[in-house]
């Protein structure tokens, strides 16, 4: 499933979301200017290598800087390919503006970074012997998705579902889309644990950790004045009255 857009307009400009997208794109463009060896070194130094934190003696022998935990932040701004960054930034673009709308700019920055750290820690705990660097914003974005599920469960997500190479568009409840997304990650993570030699390349448990963190901790980042209000007048039941019905094809 690929989300096209949701049906919740923002009340104010999502400047933090725009800034995060811009920073990620700028860093990726800088990566493209480097050679393969330099990019590999960049990923090892600023990405999350689980064994670096789980096995300090090995990390010291390899030559990693001691007591350096910045990779839990810097890894969020590194991406391995065009598909990687486009997929991540598209998900942030679709869902991040509304979460920022509810939290406010400053709280959203803290929330996003914290969810990325939670995702990174989850990845280390579930892959503690791995010497492969992990990069990408998907753990932090998974936290945004978890928060969106709590804040806008009755919103609608226009979703592209390819069936035998034919594109079909469905108007799905946000809760349905996000539950399917979550259980896809859970299934992938389970398979990766059962057959690590055959299923790899995606930090499934980082996504799960970020999503659960966002779902559980979102209330801590909502201003008190917002907690007893609806997200805004277009949320939930009023959506179709404003936007009109969508046709499936």
Exposure string for 87-125, b = 16+ CB within 10 A, e = fewer: bbbebbbbbbbbbbbbbbeebbbebbbbbbbbbbbbbbe
Identify the CATH number of the domain in which residue 103 sits. 1.20.1540.10
**Is residue 134 situated within a structural domain?**
yes
Of residues 85 and 162, more confidence is placed in: 85
**Is residue 248 situated within a structural domain?**
no
Alpha-carbon gap, residue 248 to 246, rounded angstroms: 7
Q: What is the pLDDT of residue 231?
A: 44
Range with the lowest mean pLDDT among 38-42, 86-90, 199-203, 214-218? 199-203
Q: What is the pLDDT of residue 118?
A: 97
**Is residue 182 situated within a structural domain?**
yes
Residue recorded with tokens 């914003």:
137
Q: What is the pLDDT of residue 241?
A: 33
Our count of domains for the chain comes to 1
Give per-residue pLDDT as tens, 56-66.
999 889 888 88
Sign of CA dihedral 166, 169, 172, 175: positive
| pTM of full prediction above 0.95 | no
Q: What is the pLDDT of residue 245?
A: 36
**Is residue 201 situated within a structural domain?**
no
Q: What is the pLDDT of residue 225?
A: 74
Q: What is the pLDDT of residue 236?
A: 44
pLDDT > 90? residue 195: no
**Is residue 237 situated within a structural domain?**
yes
pLDDT > 70? residue 221: yes
**Is residue 249 situated within a structural domain?**
no
Exposure string for 34-72, b = 16+ CB within 10 A, e = fewer: eeeeebeebbbbbbbbbbbbebeeebeeeebeeeeeebb
Return the H-helix or E-strand segment holding 160.
strand 156-163
Q: What is the pLDDT of residue 80?
A: 92
Average pLDDT over the chain reads 87
Mean pLDDT of 43-61: 92
Range with the lowest mean pLDDT among 19-33, 58-72, 89-103? 58-72
pLDDT > 80? residue 219: yes
pLDDT > 80? residue 117: yes
Alpha-carbon gap, residue 151 to 224, rounded angstroms: 14
Q: What is the pLDDT of residue 227?
A: 63
Give the full edge-to-edge strand order of the sheet including 2-6.
2-6, 156-163, 166-173
Domain coverage including residue 214: 2-196+207-243
Q: What is the pLDDT of residue 209?
A: 96
pLDDT > 60? residue 198: no
**Is residue 202 situated within a structural domain?**
no
Per cent of the chain over pLDDT 90 is: 65
């Amino acid at each position: 499933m690929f989300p096209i857009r949701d049906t919740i307009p923002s009340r104010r400009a999502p400047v933090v979301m725009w800034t995060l997208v811009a920073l990620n794109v700028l860093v990726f463009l800088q990566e493209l200017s480097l050679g393969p060896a330099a990019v590999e070194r960049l990923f090892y130094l600023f990405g999350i290598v689980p064994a670096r934190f789980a096995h300090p003696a090995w990390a010291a022998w390899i030559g990693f800087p001691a007591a350096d935990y910045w990779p839990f932040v810097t890894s969020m701004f590194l991406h391995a390919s065009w598909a990687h960054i486009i997929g991540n930034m598209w998900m942030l673009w679709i869902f991040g503006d509304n979460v920022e709308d509810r939290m406010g700019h400053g709280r959203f920055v803290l929330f996003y970074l914290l969810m990325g750290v939670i995702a990174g820690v989850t990845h280390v705990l579930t892959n503690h012997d791995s010497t492969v660097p992990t990069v990408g914003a998907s753990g932090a974005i998974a936290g945004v998705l978890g928060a969106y599920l709590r804040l806008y469960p009755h919103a609608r997500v226009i979703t592209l579902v390819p069936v035998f190479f034919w594109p079909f568009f469905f108007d799905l409840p946000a809760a349905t889309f996000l539950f399917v997304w979550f259980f896809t990650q859970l299934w992938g993570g389970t398979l990766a644990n059962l057959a690590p030699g055959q299923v790899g390349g995606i930090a499934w448990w980082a996504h799960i950790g970020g999503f659960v963190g966002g779902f559980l901790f979102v209330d801590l980042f909502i201003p008190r004045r917002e907690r007893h209000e609806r997200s805004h007048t277009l949320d939930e039941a009023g959506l179709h009255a404003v936007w009109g019905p969508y046709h499936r094809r």
